[in-house]
Structure 1
Amino acid sequence: MSKGVLYTVFNLYAHFFRREDTGFRKAVPQEKRMAIVLYWVAHAPSFSTLAALFGTGKATAVSIVHTGVQALRRYIVPSSIRFPTGNELSPVVCDVEASRHLPQCAGALDGTFMRIEKPVYYEDAYYCYKRFQAIIILGCVDAQGIFTFVNSGRPGSVGVSFSFNRSSLKRHIDLEESLSPAFSKAINGQDIRPFLVADAAFSLSPTALKCYNGPNLTAQQSCFNYSVIRTRRVVEQAFGRLKRRWKICSSNRVKDPIFAGIVGSVCCGLHNICERYSCPFENDIFPDPHVFQQDQDDNDADLLQAGRQIRDVVVDWIYVHFSG
């Protein structure tokens, strides 16, 4: 985060950190309180180190971090992470189509693990297949790598597909409040509803498409897979920048899983601020690929058939318009 962006964030949100002086002590200035929180999520130091750097007591540093993260969750996350609805959806879809050659795509879904210390209760539930305790940060990004939806805090053992199927975004999609059929577009004679792209860990559906599998793919199917992979690459890079900017997401400093979920959401909100203000980032740093277990598709034959039919229509459109 550049100095100019830091001052902008101070001007917008520092007043939420204000505390009143008492007869026993003067309150830590609001700008300093916010700087302590931002330094903690950016560098993940121990609380002893953090207290020494900012000249406060360790207990004071702990209190500032916990109350500050809660304040950022309350005020920054709702204003910086918003899934496009209504007229906001069309620019997002057009941006993806222009940059990734994928019509009617409203973003890319993926997830990453945030390390935590071994929790006191239900530690086995947080043990992920990468062999460490973690929570899941599920995210959806647009073509610019900005998070439009975040679900943070599920145990690492449940998987990203489970997190998505029980998220508020999935519920709004099922209720047709998000990715509404009202914004469908006629492609090759069939109305195609806006959809998201995901990897093999997610279940195929009319609103969540993924690549074709198998060795003998047609030219149209390979072209479709290429467009999906290009679009999915954006969310993988977004998670890479998230973990490089906010090292608390890749350390195991947090022990409470509930607090870790709040921290993950806050870091995604701060990531969006950095992206919107074009904060500089090292070009030679790339995210590690995230490999998830291959989950089986749901047994709903009608849903799977609808997803395959929609995917075939989009495949033909992509091949005709962009194969040359």
Structure 2
Amino acid sequence: MNLNRYISYKTPLLLMLISLLLSITLPSRCLASSWLGIISRNTYNPDSTKLKMLREQFEKRTYSNEPTVILFQILEWEKKHGSLEGLGHINNDLGVYYQSKEQYSIALKYLMEGYRYFQEAGSIKGQAYSLSDIANTFFAQGFYEMASHDYRKQLKMFVTAKDTHGTALAMNNIGLTFQARELPDSALVWFNRALKVRRTMSDPYLIAHSKIYIGQAYISLKDYARAEEVTQEALFVMNNKKEHDRYDSLLVCAALFNLGVAAESSGKVEVATRSYEASYAQYEKCRSKRGMLHTSMRLAKFLHNTGAYQKAEKYMNISLNLSKKIKLIEEYYESVQL
């Protein structure tokens, strides 16, 4: 079987973008709890002790059942004692959970409900961040036009609320929709707009985040020298950060992967091999099976083409084992022989 038929750069790259995108709104945890720290309007209600306990259980993952058990308990508490914003947050969390399980219709049901509560509460920021999750769900299904529409609507809300972080986030997300539609020139425009806003925030790590996306756009434009330069700058900053949340870690994975692509395209075999293997190791550390699958497939193809057949077979076997555990696109279910 022709290995090149089943492994392209474009397909895993877009899937990695989706994986990253779904972590953008709540980056610090795989399923972050956006309601943590929300104070109910009825702070003296004795049941608030129960809510605090549920929050702590969810945050520390000390529950024995599915996380939805606790999420639904919190939902019932908010219905009885909470605020409109509290209901918005918990519905959003349920939506994000089902989104992570790729149950998109259920996810949209809760996300839309959360958005409605934020509207009733008059929370512009709540509506804006809720729109991000709704758009992410459309994006994950390949509905890029619909996602772009909501990201642009979100952008207007963040500008109105004078939320600089949210403004840059929305600009970056709009760029992702262009990248997904194979329009890297337009993507680069929006990534640079986000970078310009983030420079005003004086946060080197957010600036590095933007540079990683910019590097990805340069790769799509086949400007590998600039892609390598801007990605190296971003990695230098990220490597000096003491603690990485999940979003940081996934971006570093993507950056290392991008370096591999740039080096491979420039004929730098050793650099490409190191970068791809570092990306795979980082995805493994993050326990991102999707990332491990994408990178191992790319590594298998690259190593096979360079004549490193033994190592290529190793990564192909890894990818085949992973493909049995992950429901992805049809290509990954094929038995590919070197």
Regarding TM over 0.5, the answer is no
Query: TM-score, normalized by length of structure 2?
Result: 0.29
* Higher-helix-fraction structure: 2
Query: TM-score, normalized by length of structure 1?
Result: 0.30
* Higher-strand-fraction structure: 1
